[in-house]
Structure formats: C-alpha cells, structure tokens
Amino acid sequence: MVSNFSFQPPNNSENGELLAHNTRELNIGRRFLPVGLKLVVFELRIEGKSMAFRDFAFLQVKESALVATIAGGTAVQRSIRKPIVLDGTPSLDPEDEKASSVLNFTWSCFRAQENVSDFNISDGNISQRFKSLLNSVLNKTLSSNEKPEILSKVTNLTGKSLIQLPNSVFKDYPEHGRVMLNTTQLIINNTYYVLLTVRRNERIAHYMQTLDIRDEDMLDIEIR
C-alpha cells in the first residue's frame, strides 16, 4: 500500500533564528523563547569535507508550573482553643514576578473514614449481619463509582480511606488566600487533611497539609 503524506511546514519565528556555533550543547536562558512548539536543528560538519549531518528535535515550551503552598509545612498541630487560619498566600506564579494577577484558591478538607471498630461495639452486642450493614453505610460515600476525582487523588496520596467534609468547615477570611476552619465541625485529637488547589487559566497546582487538632494550648510555628 502506497499512500500520500503531507504536512504544513513550520512557521518561522518573528524573532529570527537562534544560532549557536561550535558547541555540542544548546543552553537556552529562562524566558528567552516564547511559549509554543519549536524545531531544533543540530548540524555537524567535518572540517575539510563538504558533507553535513543533521538531526532534528521538537521542543515544547510551556509556562512555568504554579507553586501551591500552605504556610507551616506539610504537617502541623493546631489547638482547637484558638482560631485556626490556613494561609495559602505563599503560593505563587513564577511567570508573574510582580504578582499583578490574582490566583484562584480552592480549599478542601478530609478526615479518615470511620469504621465499625470506632464505635467500640463488641461481638456480643452486635450481630455480624448488622456489622456488615453498618460498614456498607459507612463505605457508601467512598465507593469507587461515586468518588469525586479530588477525593480519589487525596486518598491515593495518603493511602487512607477519607471522607470529604462539607464546605461549611471553612469560614471566610478578610485577606484573599486565607481561610479559617470552623472548629465546631472538628473533632478533638483527630487528624485532618487540608488540600489547597491553586489555579490560573489552564494551570493547576495542589498542596496538602496534615492537620492534627489538639485540646491544649500550642505555639504556632512555621517554616516558610
């Protein structure tokens, strides 16, 4: 079988060609090339001979990835006796050095799924059939067909079965990029997983912080 094959020739850049002579490495500085698909041509000539050998490669230039961060690090302890503020303002867009545009923040909170053993019910007080029924109710929100995509990602990351808390667990904060946790919806001496999703146009970045809620007063410390 013989078939015709054709393709559109690449467009020449308005900035002209980037030429580097007598070197086997091409080092391109940051922001030197605009976003887009580039064609890189490597040509080798042997002195005294008219032949030239060429190789080609495509180079996809993309915008820098967003950086999502929650102040305090990946694991912190907070006292339920004090306001719990989650700070995502250290997040940044490397492409926007002057921070002229606002990032979009989405917060999610998860806790470990409860099971029958958490109810301290002995075999003498409950039948196996009822235990199976109770487990099925507790697992219903985490069935593979019903898991939201973000819940599935966090579950895979932590290796635990998690339940996503309603958005009411977060309270508005005057400054953009920060939120407060509604401590009335938290359980003392429990571990929560807070996921920050940062968006700008098509780019997305995630950061997760493990939050241990304690009943005693604690010092707030963080590494930025």
pLDDT of residue 92: 93
Q: Over the stretch 94-106, which tens digit does the pLDDT of each residue have?
A: 988 787 788 999 9
Q: Provide the number of structural domains found in the chain.
A: 1
Give me the pLDDT at residue 49, please.
84
Is a pLDDT exceeding 70 seen at residue 172?
A: yes
CA–CA dist 165, 23 (Å, integer):
57
d(CA 27, CA 29): 6
Q: Is residue 198 part of a domain?
A: yes
Neighbours of 179 (CB within 10 A): 21
222 in a structural domain = no
Share of the chain above pLDDT 90, in %: 33
Asked whether residue 5 is assigned to any structural domain, the reply reads no
Residue 165 forms part of a structural domain: yes
Rounded average pLDDT over 94-122:
74
Torsion of CA 177, 182, 185, 187, to 10 degrees: 90
Task: Tell me, yes or no, whether 97 lies in a domain.
Answer: yes
Does the residue 112 lie in any domain? yes
Ramachandran angles phi, psi of 133, nearest 5°: -65, -45
Q: Is residue 120 assigned to a domain?
A: yes
Host domain of residue 108: 75-214
Candidate from 52-66, 111-125, 133-147 with smallest mean pLDDT:
133-147
What pLDDT sits at residue 220?
66
Q: What is the CA radius of gyration of the chain?
A: 27
Q: What is the mean pLDDT of the chain?
A: 79
199-204-210-216 Cα dihedral, nearest 10 degrees: -10
How far apart CA 72 and CA 130 sit, in angstroms, is 43
Q: Is the pLDDT of residue 82 over 80?
A: yes
Report yes or no on 69 lying in a domain: no
Q: Looking at residue 218, what is its pLDDT?
A: 75
26-30, 191-195, 205-209: which range is least confident on average?
26-30
**Residue 137 — pLDDT band, cuts 50, 70, 90?**
very low
Q: What is the mean pLDDT of residues 58-70?
A: 91
